């Protein structure tokens, strides 16, 4: 850029192998972008990526290559407006993984922005385009494909700067390139083979599906396999390199410009609110975010140049003679900084440069971040949609911290991006996103082959038989899709419908009925299936459209301002010029704005106008009710999880998940976390107050990652397990099962290693010293028992912990998997009553997070951590189990309850009190009960304080809070509270009250029994043995019931 500033709008640069012209002047570039005079030059790094005639992707092929035309025609559809809408759930799927990673960072952790953006964008194009998961966020190092790709790109750029003799002499580099390209080829070949094996069940709408099944309409030919492989690799490279750079630049410039950051965030908060999974419509309403991205592309187009050559000798700008075939490289960063176009602040970041009204006045040739003409990037809308989605979600959830005061330094491979750009992030205070709708699955759900075809829709208006012809011109498929929809609506309104391409109706316009034309433009030229029609209509006889009643809807994109709506305007004007009668105004759909709103505006009166023009019954033009258009049968092809099956667990939907513990009034942070989780029960599941909810958790992703790193596994792998002995196993067998599913939902990864486990590890250890140490833990002598107890059992060390400590243990993965016990459900007292919420129950879960007993890091509870992280509308597998003892409210509501619990031991009593309150509201007389509840501080962990106060105000219960760490007071536990209110306790006991205790078996339960015995002795004067007998009688009579754990 410095040279462009010094030498002007065009200059000559010597490069290895010759000279090259570099152009950046807007007037010159406008000429260079003329497709009738110039074409794309494939050279430099792009040329180095080619291997053979068939091994050229869209970006690396020459324009006159028939394979380029064939591939281009086939691949237009996967980048249509409808395709972008279909890709959104998959884009959100991957974006969520980035959000989860950043959300779980520790304070002070750094984010390598370009690295994370590369992981994100690679996974997005792989999933959306090919149905493949690289699972980059589950890896400590980049996927081998990325490593191979980076080396290949680096070498291709190096070759572009070398003399040919230098390239030939770099034998080692050439071997590495061949190895890397071979690896990439093998991976893509595997993807292709797997998709072919899926047959009709495979996705036919993504990039890979289109390439395998698509037929070029012009030639009737498919793509050869070698070209499909080349296209896949091209899209994987280009489809993530550009977008990752764009997002990195966007975060950099927003960090350095707080005012623009706040404006973008204000828009995000208004449009996205607290929605966790943005919709297609929401993302396309982020107009200022889009301006930010466009401005980044102006300053740093991630592909910093494109090369062209003239077909013939020509003169540029009236003064520069250019011989035919001369390569001219357009330096886009310099072009985009032209002060004559963008003003004196052209080199500064200011999203107002990209305001719609200002951009409309800018010549199209001066903004070329995605190349130009027919060779412009086919995936630009994909990239911009992904970038807007991700930037919006990041601004919605995180504050960005420039702790290093980063100064921009760029690096270049195939694209440009910031180098060594590191920041810190922290969740925005007070911002909690909610999952409004469960995203659609990332791969299509295949219907059963024997699913009955959908019945034809019943006519909604009596058939009148008037002719309706709907013609389209479409490369991307959007116009064709709209035409098909209009044709279906016409049939429902009683028309006799014909639908087809414009080219199929050259000199064959309907002179009766109505004609609806839906067409797009492609760089100002007609779509492939409308070119002949446009040629004909412009030269047809003056009366060629006489008697034709027509309307036109155009599909376009104002980002191509110079040619926006060119073909729809032409068709509309020519039909009128040749005698046609316009019955409804031409409509314009802008894919860069709210296309759906544009279409609805045009569509609103189209049927009434047609009906009026053709003198049809009024009902033809009226709105018709829309019923279901399809009948489907879904089949679940997931491999069943034996653990889930064995407990008869079913998915429940999380309806609420909130924190119950607060910071103290003096700002003291809480020492623990307790979650209130409400779960919508599976259909047909019922419960009673006092029941337990069994929850099947998932192992933490960090623990799973440790396993995969230890055994060198790939998160995208499937595993097929075959029992060699035919014995029963808790693992899914004889079917390919996702490895992440097995490690996440089938086995316990954190259980303490047994002595037998340790003995197995010893047998697979080849280092004598480490082998002896393991054997010393697994022996049968007293010393070994003590060593095991002190070094394994007491510190709660798992098999995985021991593998980390004894690296010389070469345990096969199948042996490791066999050592792991089945995943166990965790049981929680239900803290709600079915009288209040019959299809939803709640649980109260203390989140276990404490220093590991082993002294290494932090130990987190498997289930409590899983529950804490579940989003609203997330799924968890649950089942209801009655307690093994009759721990329920007395059936007779006139019998009072004396309830005693601490911490989460309050859970069942909340349900009991809900039940009594509901009965009271129904007019049933109830006895007032007594609750002793233990916590540390009233302002921190007095759980459900407002609800308890409400129950007390209603006369349902009297409460006594016993605080063990309240500032300025002495410790007080529930057993002391019972003694302090001994008169009330004794009075209720005399009235046949039931004592219900929930809590720890070694602390609360014996303490309550001691207090009860003391109250009995004091009131009766009896001795200790009599008190013991009295307690035994209470227990035998069901009046002292304990739901206890631990101890």
Copy the structure tokens of residue 103. Answer: 């959300």
Copy the structure tokens of residue 521. Answer: 């433009």
- Residue 98, H or E segment: helix 81-103
Instruction: Say if strands 467-473 and 496-501 run parallel, antiparallel, or are unpaired.
Output: parallel
The one catalytic residue in 56, 118, 242, 469 is: 242
Residue 124 CB-half CA count within 13 A: 34
The two counts, helices (H) then strands (E), for the chain are 39, 33
Pure H helices in 493-641: 531-539, 566-577, 595-603, 606-613, 618-621
**Quick check: is 377 catalytic?**
yes
Pure H helices in 806-954: 813-819, 862-869, 907-921, 945-953
CA distance 198 to 204: 10
The one catalytic residue in 370, 472, 553, 933 is: 370
For residue 59, the tally of other CB atoms under 10 A from its CB is 22
CA distance 360 to 373: 18
DSSP string covering 207-220: HHHHHHH---TTT-
CA distance 918 to 910: 12
Copy the structure tokens of residue 509. Answer: 């316009």
CA distance 495 to 505: 19
> 418 CB contacts (<8 Å, ≥6 apart)?
113, 114, 245, 248, 249, 252, 406, 408, 409, 410, 411
- Is 84 within 8 Å of 382 (Cβ atoms)? yes
Beta bridge partners of residue 329, listed in sequence order: 22, 307
The one catalytic residue in 377, 534, 841, 935 is: 377
Instruction: Say if strands 410-412 and 320-322 run parallel, antiparallel, or are unpaired.
Output: unpaired
CA distance 272 to 282: 7
CA distance 956 to 931: 10
For residue 346, the tally of other CB atoms under 10 A from its CB is 16
Secondary structure class of 116 (helix, strand, coil): helix
**Degrees (nearest 5) of the Cα angle 854, 856, 857?**
125
**Quick check: is 472 catalytic?**
no
CA distance 933 to 930: 10
- Is 704 within 8 Å of 688 (Cβ atoms)? no
Q: How far does the chain reach from its first CA to its final CA, in angstroms?
A: 73
**Quick check: is 859 catalytic?**
no
CA distance 112 to 140: 13
- Is 245 within 8 Å of 114 (Cβ atoms)? yes
Copy the structure tokens of residue 188. Answer: 């893509």
CA distance 387 to 121: 9
Q: At which residue do the structure tokens 């989140």 appear?
A: 847
Nearest Cα to Cα of residue 842 among 700, 730, 707, 693: 693
Greatest Cα pair distance in the chain: 120
Give the chain's radius of gyration (CA, Å): 35
CA distance 572 to 584: 11
3-state helix, strand, coil in the chain (%, to 5): 45, 15, 40
Copy the structure tokens of residue 787. Answer: 């060593």
Nearest Cα to Cα of residue 756 among 802, 710, 722: 802
3-state secondary structure labels for all residues of 891-920? CCCCCCEEEEEEHHHHHHHHHHHHHHHHHH
Catalogue the active-site residues: 242, 370, 377
């Amino acid at each position: 850029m410095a040279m462009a500033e010094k030498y002007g709008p065009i200059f000559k640069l010597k490069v290895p192998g010759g000279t090259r012209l570099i152009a950046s002047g807007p007037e010159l570039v406008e000429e260079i972008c003329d497709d009738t005079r110039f074409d794309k030059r494939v050279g430099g790094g792009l040329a180095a990526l080619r291997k053979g005639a068939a091994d050229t992707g869209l970006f690396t092929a020459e324009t006159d290559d028939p394979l380029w035309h064939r591939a281009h025609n086939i691949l237009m559809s996967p980048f249509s407006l409808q395709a972008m809408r279909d890709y959104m759930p998959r884009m959100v799927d991957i974006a969520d993984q980035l959000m989860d990673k950043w959300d779980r960072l520790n304070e002070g952790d750094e984010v390598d922005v370009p690295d994370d953006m590369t992981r994100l964008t690679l996974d997005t194009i792989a999933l959306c385009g090919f149905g493949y998961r690289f699972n980059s966020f589950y890896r400590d190092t980049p996927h081998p494909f990325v490593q191979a790709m980076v080396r290949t790109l680096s070498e291709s750029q190096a070759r572009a700067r070398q003399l040919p003799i230098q390239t030939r002499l770099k034998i080692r580099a050439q071997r590495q390139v061949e190895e890397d390209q071979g690896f990439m080829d093998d991976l893509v070949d595997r993807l292709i083979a797997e998709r072919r094996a899926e047959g009709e069940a495979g996705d036919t709408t993504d990039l890979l599906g289109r390439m395998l099944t698509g037929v070029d309409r012009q030639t009737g030919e498919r793509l050869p396999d070698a070209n499909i492989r080349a296209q896949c690799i091209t899209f994987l490279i280009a489809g993530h390199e550009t977008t990752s750079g764009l997002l990195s630049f966007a975060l950099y410039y927003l960090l350095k410009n707080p005012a623009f950051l706040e404006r973008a965030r204000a828009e995000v908060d208004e449009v996205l609110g607290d929605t966790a999974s943005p919709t297609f419509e929401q993302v396309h309403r982020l107009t200022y975010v889009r301006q930010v991205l466009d401005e980044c592309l102006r300053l740093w187009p991630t592909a910093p140049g494109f090369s062209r050559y003239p077909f013939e000798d020509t003169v540029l700008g009236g003064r520069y003679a250019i011989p035919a075939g001369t390569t001219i490289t357009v330096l886009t960063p310099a072009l985009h900084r032209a002060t004559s176009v963008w003003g004196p602040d052209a080199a500064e970041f200011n999203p107002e440069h990209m305001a719609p009204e200002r951009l409309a006045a800018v010549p199209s040739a001066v903004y070329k971040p995605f190349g130009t003409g027919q060779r412009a990037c086919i995936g630009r809308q994909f990239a911009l949609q992904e970038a807007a989605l991700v930037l919006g979600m990041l601004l919605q959830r995180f504050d960005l911290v420039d702790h290093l005061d980063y100064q921009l330094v760029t690096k270049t491979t195939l694209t440009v991006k910031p180098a060594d750009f590191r920041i810190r992030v922290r969740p925005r205070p007070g911002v909690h996103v909610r999952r409004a709708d469960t995203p659609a699955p990332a791969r299509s759900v295949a219907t059963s082959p024997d699913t009955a075809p959908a019945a034809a829709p019943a006519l909604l208006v009596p058939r009148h038989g008037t002719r309706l012809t709907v013609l389209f011109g479409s490369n991307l498929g959007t116009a064709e899709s709209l035409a098909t929809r209009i044709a279906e609506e016409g049939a429902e309104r009683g028309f006799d419908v014909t639908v087809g391409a414009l080219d199929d109706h050259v000199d064959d316009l309907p002179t009766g009925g109505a004609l609806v034309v839906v067409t797009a433009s492609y760089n100002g030229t007609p779509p492939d299936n409308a070119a002949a029609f446009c040629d004909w209509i412009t030269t047809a006889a003056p009366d060629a459209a006489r008697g034709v009643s027509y309307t036109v809807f155009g599909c376009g994109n104002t980002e191509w301002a110079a040619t926006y709506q060119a073909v729809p305007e032409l068709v509309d004007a020519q039909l009128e010029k040749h005698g046609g009668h316009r019955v409804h105004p031409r409509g314009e759909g802008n894919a860069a704005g709210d296309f759906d709103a544009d279409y609805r505006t045009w569509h609103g009166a189209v049927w009434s106008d047609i009906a009026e023009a053709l003198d049809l019954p009024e009902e033809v033009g009226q709105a018709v009710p829309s019923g279901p258009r399809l009948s489907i049968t879904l089949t679940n092809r997931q491999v069943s999880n034996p653990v889930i099956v064995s407990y008869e667990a079913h998915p429940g939907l999380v309806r609420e998940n909130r924190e119950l513990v607060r910071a103290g009034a003096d700002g003291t942070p809480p020492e623990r976390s307790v979650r209130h989780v409400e779960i919508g029960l599976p259909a047909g599941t019922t419960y009673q107050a006092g029941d337990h909810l069994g929850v099947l958790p998932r192992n933490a992703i960090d623990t799973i990652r440790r396993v995969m790193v230890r055994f060198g596994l790939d998160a995208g792998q499937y595993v097929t397990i075959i029992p060699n002995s035919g014995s029963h196993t808790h693992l899914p067998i004889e079917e390919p099962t996702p490895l992440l599913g097995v490690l996440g939902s089938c086995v316990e990864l954190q259980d303490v290693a047994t002595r037998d486990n340790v003995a197995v590890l010893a047998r697979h250890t080849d280092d004598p010293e480490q082998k002896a140490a393991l054997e010393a833990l697994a022996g049968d002598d007293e010393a070994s028992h003590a060593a095991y107890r002190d070094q394994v059992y007491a510190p709660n060390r798992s098999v995985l912990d021991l593998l980390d400590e004894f690296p010389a243990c070469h345990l096969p993965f199948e042996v490791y998997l066999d050592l792991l016990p089945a995943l166990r459900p965790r049981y929680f007292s239900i803290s709600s009553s079915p009288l209040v919420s019959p299809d939803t129950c709640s649980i109260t879960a203390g989140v276990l997070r404490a220093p590991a007993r082993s002294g290494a890091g932090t130990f987190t509870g498997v289930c409590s951590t899983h529950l804490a992280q579940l989003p609203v509308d997330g799924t968890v597998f649950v089942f209801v189990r009655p307690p093994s003892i009759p721990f329920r409210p007395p059936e007779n509501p006139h019998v009072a309850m004396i309830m005693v619990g601490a911490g989460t031991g309050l859970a069942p009593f909340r349900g009991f009190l809900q039940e009594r309150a509901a009965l009271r509201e129904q007019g049933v007389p109830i006895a007032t009960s007594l609750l002793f509840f233990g916590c540390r501080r009233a302002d921190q962990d007095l759980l459900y304080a407002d609800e308890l106060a409400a129950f007390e105000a209603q006369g349902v219960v009297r409460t006594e809070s016993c605080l063990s760490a309240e500032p300025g007071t002495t410790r007080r536990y529930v057993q002391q509270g019972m003694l302090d209110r001994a008169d009330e306790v004794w009075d209720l006991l005399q009235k046949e009250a039931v004592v219900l205790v929930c809590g720890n078996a070694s602390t609360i339960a014996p303490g309550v029994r001691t207090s009860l015995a003391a109250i009995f002795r004091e009131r009766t004067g009896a001795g200790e043995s009599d008190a013991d007998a009295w307690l035994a009688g209470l227990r035998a009579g069901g009046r002292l019931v304990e739901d206890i754990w631990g101890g």
